[in-house]
Amino acid sequence: MTDNILILGGRGRIGSAVANDLFSHTQANITITGRSPEMSLSLSERVKFLMLDLTEFDKLKNAIAQSDLVIHCAGPFHYRDTQVLEICIDQGVNYVDVSDHRSYTQKALNLHEKAVNAGVTAIINTGIFPGISNSLVRQGVEQFDIPEKIHLSYLVSGSGGAGVTVMWTTFLGLQHSFEAWINGEWRLIEPYTDREELIFPAPYQRSGVYWFDMPETITLPHSFPTVKTVITKFGSVPDFYNHLTWITAHIFPKWLMQRRYMIEFLSHVSHSMTDFTNIFTGIGVAVRAEVTGQKDGKTAVYVSNLLHENTAVASGLGTGSIAKLLLESKFKHPGVSPVEAAITTELFTEIMHEREIQINSHWVKI
């Protein structure tokens, strides 16, 4: 029988990328949802559109009941509750999402035991970062006898090919300080601080990155208990966007940045700016995962780099590849889990090879 996939928020840039990946790599029937009838995707006999608002509980519940897998792409997840995930657990339907904020991650992980008891596999934080980035870390961690420190850095060119919602996510991430696991204790970090210049592969070369609140900041310490420090940093290309973001985080009044109308205004202005600079910078992404630890009795450093020319497409293939594994029953992991806790390095290598994504890894002399 043909599998049925429900993609909530499937008309957005990320949701569309997920739909395109699954259309290309599976034979599943795909239903994408949106809140208005206008269409941005060309449909086929395997793809249909369902007008649906997540507040329409009965309609949502019915759509999930008719699906073999639900993929939640309707962000920003700062504002989302776990209603979709809870319905999936109650209905016994596997679940994947592209969530990217710790508030949602914490709420979802609280449903772990309920999902285990229902035999439901729910994988959260899929995409490029978080998502593929988590698997890069796991691959690095497994090189060590005792992994001790994780340093994740992300660069996005221009808009990354994503929509206004991703801009919302960025500005929402500047509103509050957050906890990070540093030297074996939780410490409060101010967003967009501690600029660090790192070497990325061409065309990025030396680029600046800053502390940014990501779900990996809280999931990685639990997934890898011997790790004492987890750093997550983010930067933009061109670099002047970093300086504008820093001003937004540290000069603008906090009360103003916590107003929804201000976030909406900044998101639309930023997206308009990147539409212009995309012409010169492209919309690619770079992920750098550095792991430090003990190997053969010595301290060592292992670095992995991944590039993709389109950030939104990379996010789509990250989510789509995990969805495909679930549809093919290549893994079963009952409960609510972040990517690094559910996807083995063997499976990760398989899906990256299938999508012709190259990962460059090397040991660093210290």
Please give the Cα distance from 147 to 219 (Å, whole number): 15
Do 167 and 270 touch, CB atoms closer than 8 A? yes
Q: What is the dihedral sign for C-alpha 89, 91, 93, 98?
A: negative
Provide the pLDDT for residue 158.
86
Q: Is 25 exposed, middle or buried (0-12, 13-18, 19+ CB in 10 A)?
A: middle
- What pairing do the DSSP bridges indicate for beta strands 285-295 and 298-308? antiparallel
Q: Locate 166 and state its tokens.
A: 């991703």
Q: What is the mean pLDDT of residues 122-136?
A: 97
User: Worst-scoring range by mean pLDDT, 18-22, 76-80, 202-206?
Assistant: 76-80
Q: Which of 82-96, 163-177, 218-232, 288-302 has the lowest mean pLDDT?
A: 163-177
Evaluate if residue 276 carries a pLDDT over 60: yes
Q: Which fold has domain 129-311?
A: Dihydrodipicolinate Reductase; domain 2 (3.30.360)
Parse the chain into domains and list their residue ranges: 4-126+312-357, 129-311
- pLDDT, average across residues 322-338: 96
Structural class in CATH, domain 4-126+312-357? alpha beta
Query: Does 26 or 170 have the greater pLDDT score?
Result: 26
Cβ 341 vs Cβ 121: under 8 Å: no
Residue 40 predicted with pLDDT over 70: no
pLDDT at 319: 98
CB burial string 267-306: b at 16+ within 10 A, e below: beebbebbeebeeebbbbbbbbbbbbbeeeeeebbbbbbb
The pLDDT of residue 42: 57
Task: Please give the pLDDT value at position 130.
Answer: 96
Band of pLDDT at residue 51, cut at 50, 70 and 90: very high
